[in-house]
Structure 1
Amino acid sequence: MTSVIGANIKRLREERGWSQAHLAREVCRAARVQGDPVGRQEVSRWENGKRKPREWLPFIAAAFGVPVDEVMTPEAPAETPLPTLADFLPGGDPLSPLEVRPGRRIGMGDVGDLQRRVHGLRLADDVLAGGDLIRPALRDLRRAVSLYRESTYSGDVGDQLLCQIGELSQIAGWIASDAGQHDEAERIYRLGISAARQAEDHTLAGNIAGSLAYQFSNTGREAEGVTLAQAALHDAGPDAPAKARALYLDRVAWAHTKAGGTENGQRAMRALGEAGHSLSEVNPGTESPAYLYWVDAGELRVMESRVYTELHKPLRAVPLLREVLGGYDATHTREMALYLSWLAVALADANEPEEAAAVAGRVISISSDVASERTAERVRVILRRLGDYADVPEVAALLAEHQAA
């Protein structure tokens, strides 16, 4: 059971945005000791109540810049705080290095090898679906976690390895979600948030959290989607790189859209406006990370058109979707099918059932060989929406052919 001291150490550390490894270094610095007599695992034991800090208490307090009594005294009840990403970490410590590590010592070259594998998987996801990539994605993630837990390395190498585990978790979680394995995807995303936070990469943690929020919003957990999307935006802060902040705001907009209601719709539109503004800003010294290569004005238009579709504003959605689809890379089959699916729904909302049926036929045709649960679900959504026009010949023919879907 977590002790009062352990709870205070964790609270003070998280208030400062420090990882357990960062606190360990600060304690050693305050104690003016050489080497690493206190490491991340020791801090974890203190916080979990498995070991009392005893002689380290004065140095823990000095590291935080607070009196020793503040570390030892129970915290007074306070107002319910805003949710943070710390509320979405996995149970236990799945990234805890083994006490005795049987593996070899690794360096930045090994981290570079993993980085290239992560990037290759991300590029593959542009043209392949979750069902095609789930096995290699999970295999790579298991290997990366084993490498971190079983090998020996310097602190810098460990931090970079955690970042790559975070990036790999984001794309592996996205792949698992696309394959319809939502429980597995959630576990992976939570692991990634933990890795990114331990590496103190707040931009990456926000990206992973936004992906999990997106899944929540699309799988009947709309309230959780709003909470997590807002936590990702809040934790990253106003100085996040332009593309990252735009993406966080996009996730917030989608979460509010799926939550439904007039007020949420208004919040969604405000978030979209802020996303466009953020993308156009240039923050010196905050270059957007390479893994956000796909975030651009076109992607924001896609989200805007989808929000308009969900809010039943077809006169705004249809022109935007046509514009996006007119210049879209046809090799990205899954995304093409998804974007066309929103166009089909928007056309139905605009009382254009014949054209909606024609677009729906394209969606079904190009997604028939795509191993994606997301495209399969969108086909079901289209067919349900077109059921209102079952007396229109073009729609009737489509439903007769594909009703089993």
Structure 2
Amino acid sequence: MGSSIGANIRRLREERGWSQARLAREVCRAARVTGEPVGRQEVSRWETGKRTPREWLSFLAVVLGVNVDALSVPQKPAEPPLPTLADFLPEEDPLSPLEGRTGGRRVGMATVDDLQQRVHGLRLADDVLAGGDLIRPALRDLRRTVKLYRESTHTSEVGRKLLVQIGELAQISGWIAGDAGRHEEAERIYRLGISAARQAEDHTLSGNLAGSLAYQMSNTGRESEGLILAQAAFRDARAEAPPKARALYLDRVAWAHTKAGGTEDGQQAMRALGEAGQALSKDSEGTESPAYLYWVDADELRVMESRVYTELHRPLRAVPLLREVLKGYDATHTRKMALYLSWLAVALADANEPEEAAAVAERIISFGSDTSSERVAGRVRVILGRLRDYAEVPEVAGLLAEHPAA
């Protein structure tokens, strides 16, 4: 019985994208108790069947939106339970040092090389698959890699390179988790990666991870935090960062300013974009950049520039840029295509071209139906919300009627 309850609690929690700590807080809030009699570890014990909730069952049912009986009914999941980081993140500060243990099997550079290939393969998969498709293998790989680092023996140099791979894997896994709509999990992953990169003294990597987290914050209602972190990531890593990395940091600073929306933020965003272009112009064939920056190029900077123009309601600048980039874009990168088209749709609406915006929106929705990306789903909601201002236009009216809950 206990294992059935635990499996159901975990399933319902993950359906909401909640961490174990979040569920613990919600249960305490529903029970109106002082202090924190239920914490993350207690939830973990419930989910693994080590302990039965008993007096907390009614409150669990309330916060999970089910009847108490439903928690006790065995459910056969379609897939194994989704792995999380909770089992190996430090109980205290997730940025605290990851201590390698003595004993265990010895690993060398061959293991590091194999990990590098696996991590880069995951990046390439992310180009064509969405977060919902990759979240399980990404988190499993991250869990295995942290376990390998902690439980194996290795030289200090191998240990440093293992930490770098944890950091790189955390960056792409955090991005994937965010694309799947699991933002709390993504933040934990990014912070674990920052800790690993700092211990490895790889400042370019830690800057990339911090910038990734800043980007998520800027897009999830934490604009002030996102701006502070994006600026810090640029300041801390720019001295030794290669041109592509500096361009990426500045791109994120520009976006953070744009989302902050202050009076002077628009000017600051445009200044950062200009500096990003200058940084990228210093990249050459002889410049060595980390493999994870393979996607940073002039087209990506133009896309960010067009997005900034769209957010600043300057469609006459945004539309030509986006059309130029999209003209030769790889259509196999479905999610990116949908996201870039979403900015074009909003810019066209701002330019008083609702008919064309509706046509572009139809394309995005068709792309979105084939990709399990919360980012794409969120952009579709933004577009439809913007097009409601043109609900009397026949093309828009037809789109809204056909996709009322898109």
* Same-fold status (TM-score > 0.5): yes
What does residue range 107-186 of structure 1 map to in structure 2 within 5 Å? Answer: 107-186=108-187
| Residues 1:214 and 2:194 aligned together | no
d(CA) in 2 for partners of 1:140 and 1:283? 33
Offset of 1:96 from its aligned partner? 2.0
| Residues 1:370 and 2:371 aligned together | yes
Amino acid at match of 2:255: W
Amino acid at match of 2:98: L
Q: Is the 8 A contact 2:167 2:197 kept in 1?
A: yes
Measured on the aligned residues, the alpha-carbon RMSD in Å equals: 1.5
1:322-356 Cα offsets, whole Å, 9 max, x none, are: 00100100000000000000000000000000110
- Alignment partner, residue 97 of structure 1: 100
Q: Is the 8 A contact 1:249 1:271 kept in 2?
A: yes
Offset of 1:396 from its aligned partner? 0.3
| Residues 1:345 and 2:335 aligned together | no
Q: TM-score, normalised by structure 2?
A: 0.76
Q: Could you say which structure has the larger radius of gyration?
A: 1
Offset of 1:95 from its aligned partner? 1.9
Q: Is the 8 A contact 2:338 2:364 kept in 1?
A: yes
Amino acid at match of 2:143: R
- Alignment partner, residue 323 of structure 2: 322
Amino acid at match of 2:237: A
Q: Which residues of structure 1 form unaligned runs of 5+?
A: 1-88
d(CA) in 2 for partners of 1:138 and 1:189? 12
Equivalent residue of 2:133, what SS?
helix
Offset of 1:369 from its aligned partner? 1.6
The total of aligned residue pairs comes to 315
Distance change >3 Å, CA 94–CA 188, structure 1 → 2: farther
1:284-328 Cα offsets, whole Å, 9 max, x none, are: 986211110100001000000000000000000000000010010
- Alignment partner, residue 275 of structure 1: 276
d(CA) in 1 for partners of 2:170 and 2:206? 10
d(CA) in 1 for partners of 2:325 and 2:377? 22
Distance change >3 Å, CA 92–CA 334, structure 1 → 2: closer
d(CA) in 2 for partners of 1:241 and 1:231? 17
Offset of 1:252 from its aligned partner? 0.2
Offset of 1:238 from its aligned partner? 3.4
| Residues 1:331 and 2:315 aligned together | no
Distance change >3 Å, CA 94–CA 366, structure 1 → 2: same
Offset of 1:127 from its aligned partner? 0.2
Percent identity of paired positions between Structure 1 and Structure 2: 79
Distance change >3 Å, CA 296–CA 403, structure 1 → 2: same
Offset of 1:93 from its aligned partner? 3.0
d(CA) in 2 for partners of 1:355 and 1:140? 43
- Alignment partner, residue 234 of structure 2: 233
Q: TM-score, normalised by structure 1?
A: 0.76
Amino acid at match of 1:91: P
- Alignment partner, residue 20 of structure 2: none
- Alignment partner, residue 299 of structure 2: 298
d(CA) in 1 for partners of 2:299 and 2:399? 31
Q: Is the 8 A contact 1:240 1:286 kept in 2?
A: no
Equivalent residue of 1:132, what SS?
helix
- Alignment partner, residue 251 of structure 1: 252
Q: Is the 8 A contact 2:219 2:259 kept in 1?
A: yes
- Alignment partner, residue 61 of structure 2: none
1:218-252 Cα offsets, whole Å, 9 max, x none, are: 00000010011001000013342000000000000
| Residues 1:355 and 2:356 aligned together | yes
Equivalent residue of 1:262, what SS?
coil
- Alignment partner, residue 263 of structure 2: 262
Equivalent residue of 1:203, what SS?
helix
